[in-house]
Amino acid sequence: MKARKYVGAKVIAFLLFTIFLSGCLNQSSGPQSIEGPSPELSSASGLISQESLFSYLDDLTSIQAHSGWRNSASTGEYEALDYVSGTLDDFSFLEGLGMELERQEFHVYLSTELWETRLHLTLDGKEIEVPADGMRGSRDTIRLALNFDSDGTLNDSRRDPITAQGNVAVVTSEEEWKLLDPAKMKDTIVFLNYDLVSPFAVGTTQASAHAQEVLSANPSGIVLITEFSNERKKSHGAFAGEGGVFMRIYSEKKIPILYSRLEDMASSGIHQMSDLKKIEKARLVWDADVFSPGRSQNLIARIPGKDTLKAVILGAHIDSPASPGAMDDGSGSVALLEVARVLDESRIQPPVDLYLVWFGSEELNIYGSPYFASTHSELLDRTLGMVEVDCLAHPLAGLEADITLESRASDWAGDVKTPLSDFLAQRVAALGIETKPISSSYPTEAFVFSGFDVPNINLIYSGKDFEATGSWHYAAHVHDPYDTAKLAREEGGVLVGMTRVALAAALEIGAWGPELRLAPSKEGRVLFVASHMESAHMTPSQFTDLGITLAREGFDMDMIPYGQKLTTEDVDGVDAIIVPPVLDYPSPEGDVSLYDEEWSEEEIEILVEYVSKGGTLILANSAYRLQQNLTPRDPNEDWQDLNALAKHFGVLFTEPLISSEAQVSDNELMKGLSSLRLIEGNGITFTLERGQILASSNGRPVLALVDFGNGGQVIVLSDFGILGSPYYESFNIEFLLNLTSYLKKRAQPGS
């Protein structure tokens, strides 16, 4: 009996040790040396099918063909999301788990809808139609975008096509260009080799000069002809759908511009550029409308996991750059669908909640991802990791690529670790998939999650050789008319590999639960109140260094999104509140009468009471709407509306400040700083009834500290950009470090 009890005790001890060890693995701070794939991943991975992936891709790339494709914030984008939603509805096992679908609609600053683009050629007396596409135009300047609106009227969706027809003028080479009399292009349809207006082929200066000359010749219409090439010195039509150099040139006259692939003219007997001279006459039809603001959508699928207290997010953007967009980012969109199909077929429930998100309007400078992040604070708090599948590519001849796991390391703070990339690389290596983890600062949909301390990866087929071309987009067939499902099939094995990586992220991150955040335990809370600030690019999702520095000091970043009214409950337990400028998308360049943002008296009262009871409030203004990389765009006509709140603290914003640098005073917030960087012309100087000026430019306040109420403080910034950083450089990082340390000190009891 004693012996049996002893053996039983050893068994129990062993089991307890096993459970303990498992718990240690799940709570570890880094990647685990685990041999072999998990049984779930191993079985499910084998179900990933090239045939299934390309069946989805064929469907996606047939949406709105030659009529904008899945262009950002267009009917094509909506139809693509409808297709994904309908496909998910067929997965009965996931439905049984309780899968939920959510559609988010949001504004983008500017969008273009291509209703109709047609091209008819007359050869040997017979008229033949060949496929042709229109251009989207500027993403941020309404005046330039309206060059690609057929009636030139903003926010008018009437169908009113322009028809241009007549004799043709053909220019296929630089030699022909030099010999051609511009007068011979007047009132004709000009057929132009796209290489002549491609910055990659002839340089930006020459390409712009050619474009300006052909517009000045006053033709009836222009048809740009692209030609497939896998050579590095040819343009292969890159950026044709987005307007190319024409998007930056204003023209008084509305001249229809279409582009067509030489290969699509083969049936009419045109096989090479010189054959364009066979065309006797041409007729083109063009109908397009520009909207500001435009409307876009995200589609979110939540698949309940075994543990619903944690989550993993997989994302991809559904829109294309006004081209077939098979690889960018049809590939990521179908990879997410395939992950869902495989989980459904294998009847595997993810270990934690799995969110599959198809983002809209990435190609307009990334809108869908920051909007999703700004509206899902609770989800982000429990997210273990986010992986964006963006995107497959077909490299040009001689260029090599890898399945790359891009993470953004906080190297400016001495942190060069990329733990999520390292963990995922190790797990897929068990499947025989080789990946390349790297640290990158290039803007992606994944990196916006860094602002909320969510570990993230941009999963992309790329390589260091791509840099030799001067642009990732010129190194492979993306953003060009040849980004098709047919060409993507040549990289079918890579797409399967990338999908397996996405599946591994869905199953392995939650199963092992490695600790990947900068600050696993959040002791403080900062609230970003964007209730009346519409720009997706002026939030923590783009001001990632701000979010990272706060996370390093143990602050959780929460956000009240645009359009959501601030309540008393929102400010409970908050250590600091950041209030950005009042800003909405209707601009003086467009139609400011559409709607107008302002603070309500109830919201102002909540914030004033919060500060009066000892809270810390950061008020920041902006003369412009800031785009990616802190680029000033259209003027912010709402900057004075921040005064409705600021005046309660004796602060009044008065006028724009033309400066790019401020001198600082000796203060805890300015420790180690000799100056502050400003965004040129973006500051709004202010006056103070009381308080301390900490930074100034030409004698005018730029940053100040105001005491208020019972220990409350207001930090006033003339330029919201002080809190951000351009890509590839550290911008006022020392100030951000000082600021977060200061907030932490104030958050401590008795401070």
Domain limit, last residue, from 483, 512, 541: 512
User: Is 621 domain-assigned?
Assistant: yes
Q: What stretches of 128-251 show up as alpha helix (H) in DSSP? A: 142-145, 174-179, 199-202, 204-216
Tell me, yes or no, whether 673 and 711 share the same domain.
yes
pLDDT higher than 60, residue 221: yes
| Residue 18: Cβ-neighbour burial (10 angstroms; 0-12, 13-18, 19+) | exposed
Tell me, yes or no, whether 387 and 508 share the same domain.
yes
Tell me, yes or no, whether 42 and 163 share the same domain.
no
- Give the per-residue pLDDT at 594: 97
User: Is 335 domain-assigned?
Assistant: yes
- Contact predicate 713/746, CB 8 Å: yes
pLDDT higher than 70, residue 468: no
**Domain total of the chain:** 3
Q: Within a 10 A sphere around the Cβ of 632, how many other Cβ atoms? A: 17
Tell me, yes or no, whether 452 and 393 share the same domain.
yes
Tell me, yes or no, whether 613 and 535 share the same domain.
yes
- Cβ density class 161-183: b for 16+ within 10 Å, e for less: bbebeeebbbbbeeebbeebeee
Domain limit, last residue, from 512, 535, 566: 512
- Contact predicate 549/722, CB 8 Å: no
Give the model confidence (pLDDT) of 34-79 as tens digits. Answer: 567 789 999 999 999 999 999 999 999 999 999 999 999 999 999 9
- Give the per-residue pLDDT at 69: 97
CATH number (domain holding residue 186): 3.50.30.30
For the record, the structure tokens of 299 come out as: 């589609």
CA distance 684 to 231: 49
For the record, the structure tokens of 203 come out as: 């340089």
Tell me, yes or no, whether 507 and 643 share the same domain.
no
User: Is 5 domain-assigned?
Assistant: no
For 627-650, what is the HEC assignment?
Answer: EHHHEEEEECCCHHHHHHHHHHHC
In angstroms, how far is CA 602 from the centroid of its own chain?
34
Tell me, yes or no, whether 648 and 691 share the same domain.
yes
User: Is 26 domain-assigned?
Assistant: no
Helix (H, G, I), strand (E, B) or coil at 540: coil
pLDDT higher than 60, residue 425: yes
Tell me, yes or no, whether 623 and 738 share the same domain.
yes
Kindly report the pTM of this predicted structure. 0.94
pLDDT higher than 90, residue 259: yes
| Residue 520: Cβ-neighbour burial (10 angstroms; 0-12, 13-18, 19+) | exposed
CATH number (domain holding residue 559): 3.40.50.880
- Give the per-residue pLDDT at 439: 86
Give the model confidence (pLDDT) of 171-213 as tens digits. Answer: 999 999 988 888 999 999 999 999 999 998 899 999 999 999 9
Q: First-to-last CA distance in the chain?
A: 64
Tell me, yes or no, whether 57 and 90 share the same domain.
yes
Domain limit, last residue, from 233, 257, 291: 291
For 1-60, what is the HEC assignment?
Answer: CHHHHHHHHHHHHHHHHHHHHHHHHHCCCCCCCCCCCCHHHHHHHCCCCHHHHHHHHHHH
Give the model confidence (pLDDT) of 565-576 as tens digits. Answer: 999 999 999 999
Mean pLDDT of 364-377: 96
Share of the chain above pLDDT 90, in %: 82
CA angle 640–641–647, rounded 5-degree value: 85
pLDDT tier, 683 (very low <50, low <70, confident <90, very high otherwise) = very high
CATH number (domain holding residue 417): 3.40.630.10
Mean pLDDT of the chain: 91
For the record, the structure tokens of 586 come out as: 């209707």
DSSP letters of 363-376? GGTS-HHHHHHHT-
User: Is 98 domain-assigned?
Assistant: yes
| Residue 137 structural domain | 111-291
Tell me, yes or no, whether 642 and 544 share the same domain.
yes
